[in-house]
Each structure stands twice: as structure tokens, then as C-alpha cells.
Structure 1
Amino acid sequence: MSKFELSYLKGRKRSPISYWVHHGVGEDKIPYAECVEFSPPFPNKDPMRGYPYLVVKVVGFEFEFASSLELTHCIDVLGKRNMHTTNYLSEIRGTSYGPNNHWLSRLPSDLKSWKKREKIVAFLLKARSDIEKAKIVF
């Protein structure tokens, strides 16, 4: 069964995809984990609810997202019939934080077939559409 849940957290939580989308300002001088500014920025904290965090469960796997930009990135990567390699995706990030650390290399291999990715992408697109229809800024 596929489902998604957008929750709000007291503190900011980075997803496995965050590093690959949100570049730390000054990360050439300090570790990414210590960065407090990011480009592009993470979503702002909702003063009443907290920081948004999306969990999507599809084909028995949970995808986590700290921003809509991460969701879009995941859709773009998985939506290519001939998926880019983690080497290529790591080079785009411009870091030596190698391909084996890329979020895509942590995806179970049985989910990387085009047939499975089509199902995953279709549900991720539905989740994104539902969030946008609800006018949720994430």
C-alpha cells in the first residue's frame, strides 16, 4: 500500500537526499553537518507547527524529504528511463563525498528496475500534486 504523511517537527531534520540538494553555505571551510545556511534554503519553520518533513511509503520502501526541492530531485533522478550513475550525480554536486554515499546507492537494487521506478515516480508525483493542491508550502 502506498501512502504519504507530511508531519511537522520541533527541530529541522535532514533527509538522506538533503546533502545532494541543499548545499551548505561555507561547507568548503566547515563540515556540512555544521552549516546553518543553505543554498537553496530549506523551508522555513511554521511558527505554529514546526519544520515540515515528508515520508512517502511506496512499494514497501520509505522515502524521506525535508523539502519539495528534494522531492522534485528524487522524481527527476528516478524518472529517467536510463538513470544517471551515482558517479555522475556525485560529480554534479561537486564534492568528493563519493558515489557510494549518494542516496541512490542506498536504494535497494530491486527498486531500481524501470518497472518499479515507474510506480515509485507515479506515486511521488501524486503526493506532490496533493500537497500543492492543499497549498502547503514545503
Structure 2
Amino acid sequence: MSDYDGGTDYGHVETGENHEALDQLHQVNASEADHNSQFGVYEADHASAENTSFDQGHHVEYSNPDGTHYEESDYTSYDHSAAESDHVFAAEGSESSHTSEYSELEALQARLDSTFASATELHTDGGPAIAAG
């Protein structure tokens, strides 16, 4: 406010508009990944050997006083050899993988509009007050 000579006060008059905006942005990005593997191995060895040897003899001899003579011989020989070997190998396994992604976007936008008017009074010496509006 200003004071000038002559006793007159001049006021201030202002009108206008206010425009306000509120922008809020919230963003989330996330990802997840996992991997699983499981493997197993089984192995077994077996070996065996067998040896068999069998010998048997039989001998009979007979002499008669009249001069006859009888003789018998049996001989049995048996040999057996065997070898056995086994090998077992087994493997099993499983594997899995998982991946996921997540995105979220939240936006808030608000617009605030307002108008205003303000004024001060003008006073002159001796005259009525004039109000600006």
C-alpha cells in the first residue's frame, strides 16, 4: 500500500487464477529366479570265482585159485572253474527352473483450479470510501 500527498490512499487490486497439479508416480519392478537340480549315482560291483576238483579212484582185483584173474579200475576226475563278474551303474536326476517378473505402476494425478480476487479500499479526503471488488 502506498501513501501519496493529498491524503489519498490507493489500494491494490489483484485478480487471477491458480492452477496446481499434483503428479505422483510409484513404480515397482521385481523379478525372481530359482533353479533346482538333484542328481544321484548308484554303482555296484560283484565278482565271484569257483574252482572244483574231484578225483575218485576205484580198483578191484580178484584172483581165483583156478587161475582166473579179474581186475577192474575206475578213475574219475572232475575239474570245474567258473568266474562271474557283475557291474551295475545307474544314474537319475531332475532339474527345474522358474523365473517370474512383476511390474506395477501407480499414477496419481490431481488438478486443483481456483480463482481469486482481492482488493484494498481507496480512501480520499472527505469522500466516501470506495471498495474495489
TM-score interval for Structure 1 and Structure 2 normalised by the shorter chain = under 0.3
TM-score of the superposed pair, with normalisation by structure 2: 0.13
TM-score of the superposed pair, with normalisation by structure 1: 0.13
Q: Which has the higher strand share?
A: 2
Whose relative contact order is higher, 1 or 2, with alpha carbons under 8 Å and at least 6 apart?
Answer: 2
